[in-house]
């Protein structure tokens, strides 16, 4: 099963991508997590990505597409994967489609988690992320069992620099301009599943699993 997660930053893509990955026993691949790991590791890729991420812009397609195609060529991806945060532009979606088609393959589902901008900005202030496994939480709506600690791996939870209010507004602007057109792209492909992301995380997951059949 090859699944793509769509939705604005803060819509709950990361949380649901992890849930889906567990359900189908396939890897969860987050381009944001890969960039953050590279920033932490001080790599050239990390240095390049940081300058865009810190201001809420997208990392250029030339950097992102090759990185993702390399990742999905790894052995653990042979039975499928959940992509969280990729594609984010039409050229990224076209590149993925082409790379898969060359192997007679295709994406099975694109899940769009729909949440209005006002709800997103309210949510972002309470968002916390795991410094190690990339798990995401919300202090009010999806709290960890123990405050400040990841349920999944026991590491520390922090507020990401790009969850600051002014950066959130820029990320939303970028989302509407560059990423939202992907909804029509996958609608035309006949694989779009739209889910109301304002519901509880549990209800959002059950709606997604129902749609994936």
Binding region for ligand AMP (CB under 6 A): 9, 30-32, 35, 52-53, 57-59, 64, 85-86, 88, 92, 162, 171
Q: From CA 143, how far away is CA 147, in angstroms rounded?
A: 7
By annotation, the residues acting in catalysis are 13, 88, 127, 160, 171
Q: Could you give the strand order of the β-sheet that contains 136-138, starting from the edge strand earlier in sequence?
A: 136-138, 127-130, 157-158
Give 10 or 104: the residue with its C-beta nearer to ligand AMP: 10
DSSP 43-54: -HHHHHHHHHHT
Give 74 or 210: the residue with its C-beta nearer to ligand AMP: 74
| Residue 213 Cβ vs ligand AMP, minimum distance, rounded to whole Å | 26
Other beta carbons within 10 Å of 147: 10
Q: Are 151 and 144 in contact (CB under 8 A)?
A: yes
Closest CA to 86 of 179, 151, 18: 179
| Residue 66 Cβ vs ligand AMP, minimum distance, rounded to whole Å | 12
Contacts (Cβ under 8 Å, ≥6 apart) of 212: 1, 3, 20, 109, 111, 193
Give 26 or 124: the residue with its C-beta nearer to ligand AMP: 124
């Amino acid at each position: 099963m090859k699944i793509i997660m769509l939705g604005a930053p803060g819509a709950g893509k990361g949380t649901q991508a992890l849930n889906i990955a567990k359900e189908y026993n396939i890897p969860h691949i987050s381009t944001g997590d890969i960039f953050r790991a590279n920033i932490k590791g001080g790599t050239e890729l990390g240095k390049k990505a940081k300058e865009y991420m810190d201001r809420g812009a997208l990392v250029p397609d030339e950097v992102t597409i090759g990185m993702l195609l390399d990742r999905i060529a790894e052995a653990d991806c042979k039975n499928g994967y959940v992509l969280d945060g990729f594609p984010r532009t039409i050229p990224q979606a076209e590149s993925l489609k082409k790379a898969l088609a060359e192997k007679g393959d295709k994406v099975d589902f694109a899940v769009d988690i729909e949440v209005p901008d006002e709800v997103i900005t309210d949510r972002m202030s309470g968002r916390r992320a795991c410094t190690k496994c990339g798990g995401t939480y919300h202090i009010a709506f999806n709290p960890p069992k123990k405050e400040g600690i990841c349920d999944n791996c026991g590491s520390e939870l922090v507020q990401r620099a790009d969850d600051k209010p002014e950066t959130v507004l820029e990320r939303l602007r970028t989302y509407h301009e560059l990423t939202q057109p992907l909804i029509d792209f996958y609608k035309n492909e006949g694989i779009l599943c739209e889910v109301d992301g304002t519901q509880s995380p549990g209800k959002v997951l059950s709606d997604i699993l129902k749609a994936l059949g």
